[in-house]
């Protein structure tokens, strides 16, 4: 082990740069992203998402569709690839490999039209990242860089929870040290985000937005200097600027604040991205590949004088389960049974409130490539119904106020709830964390509530 550990000091100055779908959407976007990579000699690993729109097309194919729709989706996929490849003037070898992947998508989508599965979905969806990285590697080579395409599945070993797989960090560290570390000094590595491989050799995905997670995991495994996340906005804002144009950029933010923001809906960062960075203290920079000169947000260990209110986040597509049973009354073990069932169906709970005979739980239906937007399977509902009556409310939204020492702030309730007196708040969660106050609201009211809160707390 001493020979392995002795290599890590050499990697302390290296950076992993991740580029999202809009940053590799077409030839011009790829060229701009290449400018960013080549401008910083510390960048030695590049992690890419699929080109914008590609993953949605691949998921549509994986869900099974008739021949006409399948042909249309396949044509759209080919058009995206050809538009980039034609301007690149790629070699015959790369052209043949892209064509092989396109043919593979066609074959797999024909299988999906007969029978769908989570395993098949992950296999189909992975092709987006495989193609974008092949084209980007070729672009870097044509610009005179010694770039190497690397299949992340060689080192990203995961469990078999298809659609939202969890990586094995120990194996990743060992395999990354063996397969990547020796090349970093002289070669620029281009690899895929979002995908991995389970022990039987099947391709897995880390959930939607998992490319950020991949970059952070590689930063941790190789003890890198920084993780750069290049997206379509220049940093993290006090809320989504598309909802509130007056939103302000946050130049520096602590890990715990950013983790709360990501968890509760800030789309700039994938919720899991920060966990590896927090574990090893690697700073994360978020900037815009369209305008790198605009600066961005640095996420790091601590910040000076953190404000009472940091941001407001919004997460749509929330589901509320209300479980009613007289068995709860003065009884023990009821919640254990409920959470055992939810765990068995790979369901994680966000918020929870209880009364004598009712439990209300919120579920996040976003994130997985394999759930098709619904976590409430017939099997789950049947099993819950043996214990209690289940009421389901959908089309809700979760609005979270992110800040510091909120549970010790006098007058917080009056400040927030008086501003929102004209809205129906379906559920309130406060006190479990110093960093958030969460409100479950009607989906139709969500944007107005965010705008009202932002004006009250930030403007």
Radius of gyration (C-alpha) of the chain in whole angstroms: 23
Alpha carbons 456 and 314: distance in angstroms, whole number? 16
Residue 231 labelled as part of a binding site: yes
Q: Which two tokens stand for residue 89?
A: 């003037």
Residue 249 labelled as part of a binding site: no
Residue 242 labelled as part of a binding site: yes
Give the DSSP H/E element, type plus range, for residue 2: helix 2-5
Residue 194 labelled as part of a binding site: no
Q: Residue 31 gets which letter from DSSP? A: H
Q: Residue 293 gets which letter from DSSP? A: G
Instruction: With CA atoms as reference, report the closest residue to 400 among 373, 365, 433, 372.
Output: 433
Give the DSSP H/E element, type plus range, for residue 16: strand 15-19
Q: Is the Cβ–Cβ distance between 81 and 98 less than 8 Å? A: yes
Q: Which neighbouring-strand residues pair with 192?
A: 48
Alpha carbons 420 and 311: distance in angstroms, whole number? 17
Which residues are CB-contacts of 125 (< 8 A; sequence separation ≥ 6)? 55, 58, 59, 62, 195, 205, 369
Look at strands 188-192 and 157-158 and give their pairing.
Answer: unpaired
Residue 20 labelled as part of a binding site: yes
Q: Which residues of 395-422 are buried (b: 16+ CB within 10 A; e: fewer)?
A: ebbbbbbbbbebeeeeebeeebeeebee
User: In 115-165, which residue ranges form alpha helices assigned H by DSSP?
Assistant: 118-125, 127-142
Residue 413 labelled as part of a binding site: no
Residue 237 labelled as part of a binding site: yes
Quote the strand ranges of 325-415, DSSP E: 349-354, 358-364, 389-403
User: In 300-356, which residue ranges form alpha helices assigned H by DSSP?
Assistant: 334-344
Look at strands 188-192 and 43-48 and give their pairing.
Answer: parallel
Which residues are CB-contacts of 214 (< 8 A; sequence separation ≥ 6)? 18, 47, 152, 156, 191, 192, 193, 194, 206
Residue 267 labelled as part of a binding site: yes
Q: Is the Cβ–Cβ distance between 217 and 172 less than 8 Å? A: yes
Q: Is the Cβ–Cβ distance between 222 and 59 less than 8 Å? A: no
Q: Residue 365 gets which letter from DSSP? A: -
What's the Cα-to-Cα distance from 359 to each of 214, 319, 326, rounded to whole Å?
A: 36, 14, 11
Alpha carbons 160 and 454: distance in angstroms, whole number? 41
Residue 92 labelled as part of a binding site: no
Residue 8 labelled as part of a binding site: no
User: Binding-site residues for substrate, please?
Assistant: 55, 129
User: Binding-site residues, please?
Assistant: 18-21, 55, 129, 231-232, 237, 242, 267-268
User: Binding-site residues for ATP, please?
Assistant: 18-21, 231-232, 237, 242, 267-268
């Amino acid at each position: 082990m001493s020979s392995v550990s002795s290599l890590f000091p050499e990697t302390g100055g290296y950076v992993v740069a991740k580029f999202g779908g809009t940053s590799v959407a077409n030839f011009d976007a790829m060229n701009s992203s290449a400018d960013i990579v080549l401008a910083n000699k510390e960048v030695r690993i590049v992690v890419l998402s699929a080109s914008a729109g590609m993953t949605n097309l691949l998921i549509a194919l994986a869900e099974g569709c008739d021949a006409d729709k399948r042909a249309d989706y396949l044509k759209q996929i080919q058009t995206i690839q050809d538009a980039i490849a034609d301007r690149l003037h790629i070699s015959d070898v790369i052209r043949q490999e892209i064509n092989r992947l396109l043919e593979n998508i066609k074959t797999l989508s024909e299988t999906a039209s007969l029978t769908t599965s989570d395993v098949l979905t992950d296999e189909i969806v992975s092709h987006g990242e495989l193609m974008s990285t092949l084209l980007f590697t070729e672009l870097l080579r044509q610009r005179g860089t010694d770039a190497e395409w690397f299949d992340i599945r060689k080192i990203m070993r995961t469990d078999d929870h298809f659609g939202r797989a969890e990586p094995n960090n120990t194996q990743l560290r060992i395999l990354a040290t063996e397969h990547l570390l020796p090349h970093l000094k002289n070669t620029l590595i281009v690899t895929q985000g979002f995908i991995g491989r389970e022990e039987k050799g099947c391709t897995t995905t880390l959930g939607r937005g998992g490319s950020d997670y991949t970059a952070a995991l590689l930063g941790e495994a190789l003890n890198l200097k920084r993780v750069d996340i290049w997206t379509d906005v220049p940093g993290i804002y006090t809320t989504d600027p598309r909802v509130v144009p007056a939103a302000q950029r946050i130049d520096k933010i602590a890990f715990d604040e950013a983790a709360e923001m990501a968890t509760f809906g800030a789309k700039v960062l994938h919720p899991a991205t920060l966990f590896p960075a927090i574990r090893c203290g690697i700073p994360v920079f978020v900037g815009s590949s369209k305008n790198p000169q605009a600066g961005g947000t640095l996420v790091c260990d601590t910040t000076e004088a953190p404000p009472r209110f940091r941001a407001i986040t919004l997460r749509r597509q929330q589901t509320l389960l209300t479980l009613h049973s007289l068995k709860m009354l003065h009884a023990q073990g009821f919640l254990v049974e409920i959470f055992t069932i939810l765990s068995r169906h790979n369901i994680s709970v966000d918020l929870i409130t209880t009364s004598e005979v009712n439990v209300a739980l919120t579920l996040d239906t976003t994130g997985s490539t394999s759930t098709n937007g619904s976590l409430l399977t017939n099997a789950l509902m049947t099993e819950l119904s043996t214990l209690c009556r289940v009421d389901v409310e959908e089309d809700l939204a979760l609005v979270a106020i992110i800040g510091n020492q909120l549970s010790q702030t006098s007058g917080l309730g009056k400040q927030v709830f008086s501003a929102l007196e004209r809205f129906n708040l379906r559920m309130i969660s406060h006190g479990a964390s110093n960093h958030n106050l969460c409100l479950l609201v009607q989906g139709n009211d969500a944007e107005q509530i965010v705008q009202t809160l932002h004006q009250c707390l930030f403007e």
